[in-house]
Amino acid sequence: MSTTPARHLARPTLEDFADAAATLEGVIARTPLDESLHLSEQLGAPVHLKLENLQRTGSFKIRGATYRLSRLTPEERARGVVAASAGNHAQGVALAAKSLGIPATIFMPLGVPVPKLLATRGYGAEVILEGATVETPLRLAAEFAERTGAVFIHPFDHPDVIAGQGTLGLELMDELPDLDTIILGIGGGGLIAGVAAAVKARAAVEGRTVRIIGVQAENSAAYPASLAAGHPLDVATRPTIADGIAVARPGDLPFEIIRDLVDDVVTVSEDDIARALLVLLERAKQVVEPAGAVGVAAILAGKVRASGPTVTVLSGGNIDPLLLQRVVAHGLAASGRYMTLQVPLPDRPGQLARVSELLAQAGANVIEVLHTRHGQGLQISEVILQLSVETRGEEHRAHVISTLEQAGYAPTVVPD
């Protein structure tokens, strides 16, 4: 959905990005750039993490929201603003509105993570929960704007929002003068459009090139099909843990910029994203939401290549602790470091001890055990043993299964 009048659909220029950077000076944090030796080994080129998960409100969204609101006229400010978001845009608009003294109403889906909901309300916005996905809040916010006169603040399809997000690209150019490649997640496309436009314009002035790579979740990937068709398409989406980039249709203006300036768009699976979150926790000591980790996921999955200094943007850190718990468990399983086995056993003494001995010999650490005679398809003389075990990776996992099979058992891995 685009509520932006056609007269506004002008691409930001390098001057616009410079103005946005000056406006945001002292308002946003200049987030760190942290080199990752582990990811550098994986990619075969130096990899730096841009820690926008440490940005104010926990994501890059404060950049575009603040610049967009700063350019409203006094009459527009008096009418208030309205936005729709699954979380990060909501927080950005709410904080920007509070700092500028502008009334804000935010529509959010019913399943929004609790930390994002509480933070948005904490910044002083009125929050209305409606709909299962962000598409319903977008529609309701547009209707609210028409009914009340409030200014609709689109999360990505407006040149001022894109200009604000693009300030991130200028920072990267300043911080890493020999920058070769930037990897960013894509939802509606506002961040990558802004960064691509700012970086390509600056690079042209400096007489060099910088590659821009976009990453989408496989379950919500509107850009590959849209780019192939030559225009934005509405695509069917499936649930994804990367809810922050789950957008069914590209923005009109971001699509134009991405089509012309982004060098490649790749997709990553849910397992790839879960593994990336685990790597960021263990190796980089960074808490990142799934949408903010897709660039790392693309590196780990071998979906991108680079020959020089590379930056992947950790675009947000607002993850529900309960989701983090589930994702870590999923990431461990996807990395071959945790699995649940079901083993049918004859119902006679000593079988549990025998299986435990085999697992110990194979070096697996048992976390949980369920021993039951009740199960579909079981013979009257059989029981099912279900075990959750820690392993050291895919090779060790296969060794554990093989050890049980060689002893005459028939283990099956329970899907995560």
Q: Is 303 a catalytic residue?
A: no
HEC-encoded secondary structure of the chain: CCCCCHHHCCCCCHHHHHHHHHHHCCCCCCCCEEECHHHHHHHCCCEEEECHHHCHHHECHHHHHHHHHHCCCHHHHHHCEEEECCCHHHHHHHHHHHHHCCCEEEEECCCCCHHHHHHHHHCCCEEEECCCCCHHHHHHHHHHHHHHCCEECCCCCCHHHHHHHHHHHHHHHHHCCCCCEEEEECCCCHHHHHHHHHHHHHHHHHCCCCEEEEEEEHHHCHHHHHHHHCCCCCCCCCCCCCHHHCCCCCCHHHHHHHHHHCCEEEEECHHHHHHHHHHHHHHHCCCCCHHHHHHHHHHHCCCCCCCCCEEEECCECCCCHHHHHHHHHHHHHHCCCEEEEEEEEECCCCHHHHHHHHHHHHCCEEEEEEEECCCCCCCCCEEEEEEEEECCCHHHHHHHHHHHHHCCCCCEEECC
Catalytic site residue from 36, 59, 226, 315: 315
- Residue among 87, 82, 252, 257 nearest 166 (CA): 257
Query: Which positions ≥6 away from 1 have C-beta within 8 Å?
Result: 135, 138, 139, 142, 249
Classify residue 289 as exposed, middle or buried by CB count within 10 Å of its CB (0-12, 13-18, 19+). Answer: buried
The token pair at 20 is 């946005």
Please tell me the distance from the alpha carbon of residue 63 to that of residue 300, in angstroms, as a whole number.
28
116 is catalytic: no
Among 2, 36, 61, 70, the one annotated catalytic = 61
Which residues does the annotation mark as catalytic? Answer: 61, 315
